[in-house]
Amino acid sequence: EKGNHRHFMEKEIHEQPEMIGRTVSHYVDAFENRVHDISGLDFRGASRLVIVGCGTAAYAGEIARYWFGSLARLAVEVEIASEFRYRDPVFLPGDIALFISQSGETADTLEAMRLAAAAGVQTLALVNTAHSTIAREASLVVPTLAGPEIGVASTKAFTCQLSALACLAVLAGRHRGHLDRAQEAGHVASLLAAPGLMVRAIESEDEIEKLAQGIAGYPTVLYLGRNQYFPLALEAALKLKEISYIHAEGYAAGELKHGPIALIEEGMPVIVIAPHDALFDKTRSSIQQVASRGAHVIALTDPDGASALAGEAARIVTLPSGSQLTSVLLFASAVQLLAYHVAVYKGTDVDQPRNLAKSVTVE
Ligand code: M6R
């Protein structure tokens, strides 16, 4: 039931603090600030983690790639299932393969998993539906606890996937000797604090809603981000496309000069995910480059970023600042709300967008 929400998507966006909290609680010991060991999962001898999924699930994997690399020095390959399964993929000794799927029934993801299993690779399934085919066939299930997701546009399943992946990256970091006790405790504490921060991020909804009108009238929108916020920019663009039918592209901010800056013209909305982190100055210079060419810049940032950007970005949305693992969750809720309000403004069928199905069980 939608309760007092207009759409399931809106309800599911608002449920996220609770659901990411549930998911993190499943993986961590909140008294010791440690990630639980998972029987049958050992990252010590892993040479590589291969992550496969479709759509939003694949973007969750792309984001996690940054975490496994930096916390655990574990090489990660992320691929969309429809490409992976038909390219005769190479498996290496010591590979672990992780398949991400909300429904657990996506045909391409399932077939990709069968391919890895046939090659003798350990298959992990990060699924939201416990009784699904992918869950049944995997060697090990790592769950998300998002509850049933009804809206075709994935929201809470995505942030729960990220929450679980963050826990797994911390576990890998410990297994591989790259995180000491205090570092692990710091990451776990930050994940436990994420629900509270996300409640505050979602409080920006009224402000975000006001930006929707300026986007709804434009035929194309560009999303920019760096580092883990680059795949989030891809996810943000997908969300807008799916429910508002506006063409949108996500780009790594560092790629601007390699092509997409040619698209910029007066008034074009450019949404920049700009946390005040080590790469902030680079992101800021991207903002300046598009703003000087007339783009209508909307910067999603945190309090430090907001003071640095004052006067530079046309619109600034200030979210709470999170950690290396949690700030992407906060920005995710903001880009979901933005897509949602653009779609509501345009009057589309938010929960059942045209041409899309919730679960893609055929190729
Ligand atoms: O059920 P799955 O997670 O396997 O589904 C994968 C994609 O079909 C799904 O994420 C799709 O991209 C969503 N409509 C995104 O909002």
Asked whether the ipTM of the predicted complex exceeds the cut of 0.95, the reply is: yes
Farthest CA pair distance, the chain: 57
Per-residue pLDDT, averaged over 66-73, amounts to: 98
242 Cβ closer than 6 Å to some ligand 1 atom? yes
Query: What pLDDT does 169 receive?
Result: 98
Q: Closest Cα to residue 335, out of 54, 13, 5, 8?
A: 13
Question: Would you report the helix, strand and coil content of the chain in percent, each value rounded to 5?
Answer: 50, 15, 35
Closest-lying ligand 1 atom to the alpha carbon of residue 103: 1
What is the DSSP pairing of strand 34-35 with strand 28-29?
Answer: antiparallel
Distance from the CA of 279 to the center of ligand 1, in angstroms? Answer: 30
pTM assigned to the model: 0.98
Distance from the CA of 54 to the center of ligand 1, in angstroms? Answer: 6
CA pair distance 198, 231, nearest whole angstrom: 19
Handedness of CA 238, 196, 312, 273 (dihedral sign): negative
The pLDDT confidence band at residue 229, using thresholds 50, 70 and 90, is very high
Query: What pLDDT does 171 receive?
Result: 98
**pLDDT at position 318 over 90:** yes
Q: Closest Cα to residue 118, out of 105, 143, 100, 137?
A: 137
Per-residue pLDDT, averaged over 19-42, amounts to: 98
Per-residue pLDDT, averaged over 323-345, amounts to: 98
**pLDDT at position 268 over 90:** yes
154 Cβ closer than 6 Å to some ligand 1 atom? yes
**pLDDT at position 314 over 90:** no
80 Cβ closer than 6 Å to some ligand 1 atom? no
SS3 readout for 165-204: HHHHHHHHHHHCCCCCHHHHHHHHHHHHHHHHHHHHHHCC
Distance from the CA of 310 to the center of ligand 1, in angstroms? Answer: 37
**pLDDT at position 256 over 90:** yes
CA pair distance 175, 55, nearest whole angstrom: 30
Per-residue pLDDT, averaged over 52-59, amounts to: 98
| Residue whose CA lies nearest to ligand 1 atom number 14 | 153
Beta strands in the chain (DSSP E): 28-29, 34-35, 48-53, 76-80, 95-101, 122-127, 140-143, 220-225, 247-252, 269-273, 296-301, 315-318
Per-residue tokens: 281 = 């100055």
125 Cβ closer than 6 Å to some ligand 1 atom? no
Distance from the CA of 357 to the center of ligand 1, in angstroms? Answer: 9
Query: What pLDDT does 311 receive?
Result: 86
Query: What pLDDT does 200 receive?
Result: 98
Closest-lying ligand 1 atom to the alpha carbon of residue 56: 10
Q: Does 358 participate in catalysis according to the annotation? A: yes
**pLDDT at position 276 over 90:** yes
Q: How many CB atoms lie within 10 A of CB 140?
A: 16
352 Cβ closer than 6 Å to some ligand 1 atom? no
pLDDT in tens, 183-223: 999 999 999 999 999 999 999 999 999 999 999 999 999 99
Distance from the CA of 197 to the center of ligand 1, in angstroms? Answer: 26
299 Cβ closer than 6 Å to some ligand 1 atom? no
pLDDT in tens, 5-27: 999 999 999 999 999 999 999 99
| Residue whose CA lies nearest to ligand 1 atom number 11 | 55
Query: What pLDDT does 265 receive?
Result: 94
Closest-lying ligand 1 atom to the alpha carbon of residue 359: 1
Q: Closest Cα to residue 325, out of 234, 197, 175, 145?
A: 197
CA pair distance 246, 271, nearest whole angstrom: 14
Query: What pLDDT does 1 receive?
Result: 85
Instruction: Give the chain's mean pLDDT.
Output: 97
Q: Closest Cα to residue 224, out of 282, 157, 156, 303?
A: 282
Per-residue pLDDT, averaged over 341-360, amounts to: 92
57 Cβ closer than 6 Å to some ligand 1 atom? yes
Classify 251 in phi/psi space as left (phi over 0), alpha (psi -120 to 50) or beta. beta
